[in-house]
Chains A and B, each alone.
Chain A
Amino acid sequence: MTVDVAIIGGGLIGLATAFEARQHGLSVQVIEAANCGRHASSASAGGVRSLNRHMAEIPLARAALDLWRGLAERLGHDVGFVQSGQMRLAEDVAGMAAFEARIARLADAGWTHERLSSARHLRVRLPDSAPHCRGALVVDDDGFADPLATLHAYRCACLAAGVTLSEGCAVHGVVRAGAGALAIDTARGEIRARHVVNCAGAWGGDLVADERIAMRTAALQMIVTAPVAPFVTPVIGVHGRKLSLKQTDTGAVVIGGAFEGHLRHARDAVAARGDLDPGRIGASLANAVAVFPHLAQARILRAWSGLEGIMPDGLPVLGPSGRVPGLIHAFGFSAHGFALAPLVGRMVADHLHSGAGVGAMAPFSVARFGTDAPARQKEMSDA
């Protein structure tokens, strides 16, 4: 029996792709080594952000926002999406100048979603921010959602739609198996599929033996506090500091920002984990206190780390494999894939159904890592 689409990896990218593929009437099986959302998806900060994105990702992020607004209704489950806005604070004149330059660059490319907010407006909107903050770069219709609720929503929607979910099933490799089919070697035997989607996250670079893609796994630390009196609505980043901060509807403050813990058992998709580094937790918290001094009194309830697959250029690998016909890559979202998941699912499913959409995926093609691929301009957000 050959399934239409086999999806390797049951995180949000895999589940979104599975759900959307079912909407096209394709038969779908998701193969997950541990349990759905075990690594990056359940540890995400939940930011739905188009602010400060790499130029290549902006179209995806903007289109994803539209999907997030209707996602709960589409899946039949709440995903906790809040259109809170996102702000990136500048602590000095140089930061504000960098923001102005960026707005100009975006305008040249036809994007107007980012705007500058002055110090005066900051005092009104964020009265608890440190007095030295000079202003901010703002996207008003960005927001955040609840990763666990989103995972649960997609998982239930997949099961209700008839997706076959195989958890606890590690994948060893994918090879061609004759005309129009691929064979996936799993811990529970061989699975055959007409198409395979590589949503294996931090392990996606090892899936195809002759198409290995260099990437590294990072254990990114997150901290959540006990509830604090409401003081911020938008999600906050800071120019020149590694910080991502937001306050949930319970009043808890979630603090992240790409500080890394110690990775253990990196190559094992089931056992891999990150141990926390108190010094780097301290650095993360110091960044939070620098812009919101009153947080020094907050109580830390829980810290954890999620494993993310980080690409050398910070951009995902999205699009057809260069080596294995019928294999589509959709991994390597480098710690900012949560917001894009609904859209990536749609793009990959549409492509599987009709073959269209290769152009939209071209900037993320695996071909960029080939020896004859042009060197990418590195234009990443700072810190």
Chain B
Amino acid sequence: MGVHATDDALICRCENVRVADVLAALGTGIDGPNRVKAMTRCGMGPCQGRICANPLTRLIAAETGWSPDTVGALRIRPPLKPVLLMDYLAPEIVPELSA
């Protein structure tokens, strides 16, 4: 995980989740990145895990001693990048907003 990731370091910038928060979640007995996500909101932000997914798996592996393959990866959701609500709308629905 890196000797620089102290407890007060942010692992998820989108949702302001610190390394300490992830360690606390692991302390309740949950065992994977998606359970950590449900508990701490780590990985729920606009970046869809681009920042936190790799460090999260490595952190859980380091803390539990399990291999990263066993730990698994964060599940991500679409949209891969934020999309404006109006991008989904046909022009006749919001005529004054079409480009």
> C-beta contact mask, B28-50 vs A, less than 8 Å → 1, else 0?
11000001001100001110100
| Count of A-B residue pairs with CB < 8 Å | 69
B4 at the binding interface (Cβ < 8 Å): no
Specify which of A42, A152, A282 is in contact with B88 (CB 8 Å cutoff). Answer: A282
Among B5-13, B51-59, B60-68, B78-86, the one that faces the other chain is B78-86
A297 at the binding interface (Cβ < 8 Å): yes
State in angstroms the CA–CA spacing of A42 and B75 once bound together: 14
B39:A301 contact, CB within 8 angstroms: no
A297:B38 contact, CB within 8 angstroms: no
Which A residues touch B48, using CB under 8 A?
A: 302
> C-beta contact mask, A3-39 vs B, less than 8 Å → 1, else 0?
0000000000000000000000000000000010100
B82:A281 contact, CB within 8 angstroms: no
Expressed in whole angstroms, the minimum distance between the Cβ of A379 and any Cβ of chain B is: 32
A residues 296-327 with Cβ under 8 Å of B?
296-304
B3 at the binding interface (Cβ < 8 Å): no
Quick one: closest A residue to B35, CB to CB?
A: A35
Expressed in whole angstroms, the minimum distance between the Cβ of A229 and any Cβ of chain B is: 15
B89:A286 contact, CB within 8 angstroms: yes
A300:B79 contact, CB within 8 angstroms: yes
A186 at the binding interface (Cβ < 8 Å): no
Which A residues touch B94, using CB under 8 A?
A: 289, 293, 296
> C-beta contact mask, A275-305 vs B, less than 8 Å → 1, else 0?
0101001100110111001011111111110
Quick one: closest B residue to A167, CB to CB?
A: B31
Quick one: closest A residue to B76, CB to CB?
A: A302
A residues 78-96 with Cβ under 8 Å of B?
none
B78:A301 contact, CB within 8 angstroms: no
Expressed in whole angstroms, the minimum distance between the Cβ of A51 and any Cβ of chain B is: 25
Task: Report the count of interface residues on A (CB-CB < 8 A).
Answer: 30
Specify which of A151, A278, A300, A304 is in contact with B85 (CB 8 Å cutoff). Answer: A300
B93:A300 contact, CB within 8 angstroms: no
> C-beta contact mask, A140-178 vs B, less than 8 Å → 1, else 0?
000000001001100010010000000000000000000
B85:A288 contact, CB within 8 angstroms: yes
Specify which of A281, A289, A298 is in contact with B93 (CB 8 Å cutoff). Answer: A289
Quick one: closest B residue to A38, CB to CB?
A: B34
B46:A276 contact, CB within 8 angstroms: no
State in angstroms the CA–CA spacing of A296 and B85 once bound together: 5
Specify which of A296, A298, A304 is in contact with B97 (CB 8 Å cutoff). Answer: A296
State in angstroms the CA–CA spacing of A225 and B83 once bound together: 9
B38:A301 contact, CB within 8 angstroms: no
> C-beta contact mask, A248-290 vs B, less than 8 Å → 1, else 0?
0000000000000000000000000000101001100110111
Most-contacted residue by chain B among A152, A225, A276 (CB, 10 A):
A152
With A226-B46, A289-B85, A300-B82 given, can you name 17 additional A-B contacts, CB distance below 8 Å? A37-B38, A42-B38, A151-B38, A152-B39, A225-B85, A276-B78, A282-B89, A282-B90, A286-B88, A289-B86, A289-B94, A296-B84, A296-B86, A297-B86, A299-B82, A300-B88, A301-B82
Which residues of A pack against B, CB within 8 Å?
35, 37, 42, 148, 151-152, 156, 159, 225-226, 276, 278, 281-282, 285-286, 288-290, 293, 295-304
